[in-house]
């Protein structure tokens, strides 16, 4: 069949406007398909990774937005003594918007030594020493830095919080690149408040073999009658609950991805059928030259696949480039979902394009293969 690619290409070029419209439509549909896949992949990566099941988040009971949760920082000392607990990290969270937003800025204040130990950050520009030495210094995720055009040495202000950018970092966890890390005590004193001794949440790292549910129950029982009651869940459950409304929406929009594939199927099938009808005599001549019906069928299938793969390939490449360039993320209540390109999404798009091309070519291919030579030659 590869010997006939030039012939197929000429056939498509003969009706170039129709072919280009089909390819562009398929490209747009696959671009949307990849974007939907990136959203779902981002949510899955946030809630289903191994760390999310081995780390607990302690939050104030019946609180949602980070600004409303206030826990005594000395709870960390009590929790650290419980069986199954390896380390406790107090964290102060500040965000400029608790609602779902594509441009939310989320600060997390931590002790520098605990930040270095618990977050695998790679400093791309700037340096760690400046951050550790200066109280108002911050490490900015590269997604935020790209979106806000920040670089080391810049001053950055959101609301009443002003920080000096000490470094820009990358992380193995895409959602972390949409965060800004500061000193815990700095964020406790920011915004004209004095929240020293209070934190938003406590991140509990479990010892090997510890049962997350048992440790979570023990923590909540310990503070049930204390000054501030707590709700403790695994990090994955905490993030899933925080993003529950968004998760429902993301769960629904996967149907949009299927709709995009169906659209490509319709576009390619329609174009291929029209092409077959335009070339009824041509296929009859090919049969008189010795082309068997199976070969005619394969020619039409190849044409359909070529259309679908060209359009789908452009859409997949465009989608990956857009996701890489935009550094898009959506945040709600201080939790961020990052939209990042991945080979899995690209592979799914490529497979979808190939499958659609094959399916779209079956009916017109069968029609072309079954055409009677005499009837076709008489066709006006």
Is this structure's pTM higher than 0.85? no
**Total Cβ atoms within 10 A of residue 319:** 25
From first to last of its 380 residues, what are the pLDDT tens digits of the chain? 556 677 677 777 777 888 888 889 889 999 988 888 888 887 777 666 656 668 899 999 887 676 678 899 999 999 999 999 999 999 998 887 766 666 778 899 999 999 998 888 999 999 999 999 999 999 999 988 988 899 999 998 887 788 999 999 998 877 888 889 999 999 888 766 667 889 999 999 999 888 999 999 999 999 988 889 999 988 877 777 766 666 677 777 778 888 888 888 888 888 888 777 666 666 666 667 667 878 878 888 888 888 899 999 999 999 999 888 877 777 766 677 778 788 888 999 999 999 998 998 888 888 777 777 666 566 54
Q: Cα separations (Å) of 83 from 15, 76, 204, 205, 220?
A: 73, 14, 12, 12, 14
| Residue appearing with tokens 């000490």 | 166
Give the Cα separation of 338 and 201 in Å (integer): 22
């Amino acid at each position: 069949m590869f010997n006939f690619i030039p012939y197929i290409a000429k056939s498509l070029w003969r009706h170039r406007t129709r072919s280009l419209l089909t390819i562009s439509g398929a490209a747009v549909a696959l671009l949307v398909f990849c974007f939907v896949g990136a959203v779902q992949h981002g949510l899955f990566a946030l809630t289903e990774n191994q760390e999310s099941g081995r780390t607990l988040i302690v939050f104030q009971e019946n609180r949602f937005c980070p600004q409303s949760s206030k826990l005594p920082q000395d709870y960390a000392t009590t929790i650290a003594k419980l069986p199954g607990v390896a380390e406790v990290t107090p964290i102060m969270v500040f965000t400029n918007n608790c609602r779902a937003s594509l441009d939310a800025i989320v600060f997390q204040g931590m002790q520098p030594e605990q930040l270095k130990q618990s977050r695998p950050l790679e400093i791309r520009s700037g340096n760690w020493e400046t951050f550790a030495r200066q109280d108002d210094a911050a490490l900015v995720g590269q997604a935020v830095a790209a979106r806000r055009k920040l670089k080391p040495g810049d001053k950055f202000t959101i609301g009443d919080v002003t920080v000096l950018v000490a470094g820009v970092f990358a992380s193995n966890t895409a959602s972390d690149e949409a965060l800004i890390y500061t000193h815990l005590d700095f964020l406790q004193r920011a915004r004209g408040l004095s929240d020293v001794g209070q934190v938003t949440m406590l991140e509990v790292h479990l010892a090997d073999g510890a049962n997350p549910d048992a440790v979570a129950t023990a923590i909540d029982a310990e503070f049930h009658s204390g000054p501030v009651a707590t709700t403790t869940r695994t990090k994955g459950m905490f993030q899933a609950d925080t993003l529950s409304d968004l998760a429902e929406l993301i769960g629904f929009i996967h149907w949009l991805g299927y709709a995009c594939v169906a659209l490509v199927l319709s576009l390619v099938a329609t174009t291929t059928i029209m092409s077959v009808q335009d070339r009824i005599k041509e296929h009859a001549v090919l049969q008189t030259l010795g082309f068997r019906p199976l070969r005619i069928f394969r020619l039409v299938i190849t044409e359909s696949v070529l259309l679908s793969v060209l359009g789908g390939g452009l859409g997949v490449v465009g989608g990956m480039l857009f996701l890489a360039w935009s550094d898009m993320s959506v945040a709600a209540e201080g939790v961020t979902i990052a939209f990042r390109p991945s080979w899995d999404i690209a592979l799914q798009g490529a497979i979808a394009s190939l499958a659609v091309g094959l399916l779209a070519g079956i009916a017109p291919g069968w029609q072309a293969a079954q055409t009677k030579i005499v009837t076709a030659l008489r066709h006006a």
